[in-house]
Amino acid sequence: MLNNSSTNNDTKRSENATSLSCFADCKPAAFELKNLAWSPYKHTPLLHPISITVNPTEFVAVVGPNGSGKTSLLRCLYRVNKPSSGQVLMDGKDIWSLPARTCAQRIATVLQDTGAEFGLSVFEMVEIGLTPKSTSWKRTAEDSEAIESVLALLDVSHLIERNFNALSGGERQRVMIARALVQGPDILILDEPTNHLDIRHQLEVLELLSTLPCTIIVSLHDLSLAAAYADRVLVMKDGQMQGYSAANEAFTEQQIEHVFEVKTIIDQHPITRRPRFSFYTNNQQD
């Protein structure tokens, strides 16, 4: 059970999330995928045509087994993978017809691999998130306040002067999420943001994301987390869309067996009232 101090801290973080100064000018965008397909190979498609609409402020989770195309799809959304066919529309405009800077200003990303950042402190790493919208290299007091605010929300304020490379995997991941948040994006795309995080920080990060005023698209391995926090879920297998629906309707026992090749019992979480999953294999049956 959480103590009163922990509960108060969680409540404070949730209240602060919606009042972050960096999101003051946020204009949550709509995303539309129109027959989006992609492959680096001429005759072997890796992403088969996908058509979905993501409404402004929606929280959409992308789920599927390893190799299902989740990361490839997200890379199409933040202008790394150019579609082989079809379109990615942001507020009705093809992102590949827009200036790269416009997309960089409106879309922030958190990737699975944080990479190596030579000699940068945590403060300096998060400061990079201000770059797309900056008109000057000089940082203001408001900039510093914004950085400190997102570090507090991600529970990494105590690391502000530490070398980024010296952090644990979970600490690095939370710093990278802070860097994306300080940008105040209209669309936030995260590829497996709960990787490396312990249970508490998984829940806190997703709870925080669910309070933000921007549009969010996130890939997740954990179906329970997707069902608990997402508005809608896109299910992928072998580069093909298997379904796109409200989170509480996205999973059935038959579909999970088809997509993930495991059996499951689905019931209702007693607190969140969202679906809860108990997985097992044929070998574990009596």
User: How far is 196 from 202, CA to CA, in rounded Å?
Assistant: 9
Long-range contacts of residues 138-145, Cβ cutoff 8 Å, at least 24 apart = 142/21, 145/21
Of 220, 244, 179, 198, whose CA–CA distance to 70 is shortest? Answer: 220
* pLDDT value of residue 17: 53
User: How far is 110 from 219, CA to CA, in rounded Å?
Assistant: 11
Number of DSSP helices (H) and strands (E) in the chain, helices first: 9, 12
Tokens representing residue 239 in the block: 């580069």
- Count of structural domains within the chain: 1
* Cross-sheet strand order for the sheet of 240-246: 107-110, 187-191, 215-219, 59-63, 232-237, 240-246
> Angle CA(34)–CA(39)–CA(41) in degrees, nearest 5?
145
Bridge-based pairing of strands 107-110 and 93-94 is: unpaired
User: How far is 250 from 260, CA to CA, in rounded Å?
Assistant: 14
* pLDDT value of residue 89: 98
* pLDDT value of residue 56: 98
Of 269, 110, 256, whose CA–CA distance to 194 is shortest? Answer: 110
Going 183 to 187 to 191 to 194, the CA torsion angle's sign is positive
Expressed in angstroms, the distance from the first to the final Cα of the chain is 34
* C-alpha separations of 108 from 116, 159, 171, 271 in Å: 19, 22, 19, 32
Q: Please state, for a pLDDT cut of 70, what percent of the chain lies above it.
A: 91
How confident is the model over 102-152, as pLDDT tens digits? Answer: 999 999 999 987 666 678 999 999 999 999 988 777 788 888 999 999 999
Containing structural domain, residue 242: 4-284
* pLDDT value of residue 12: 42
Residue with tokens 């190979």: 41
Tokens representing residue 193 in the block: 């943001």
CATH of the domain at 95: 3.40.50.300
Tokens representing residue 185 in the block: 């994006």
Rounded-to-10 torsion of CA 95, 76, 116, 138:
10
Better-scored residue on pLDDT, 188 or 143: 188
Of 262, 261, 263, 251, whose CA–CA distance to 223 is shortest? Answer: 251
Residue 14 scores a pLDDT above 60: no
Side chain identity, residue 241: M
Please answer whether residues 156 and 166 qualify as being in contact, where contact means their C-beta atoms are separated by less than 8 angstroms: no
Residue 1 scores a pLDDT above 60: no
* Cross-sheet strand order for the sheet of 85-90: 47-54, 31-38, 85-90, 93-94
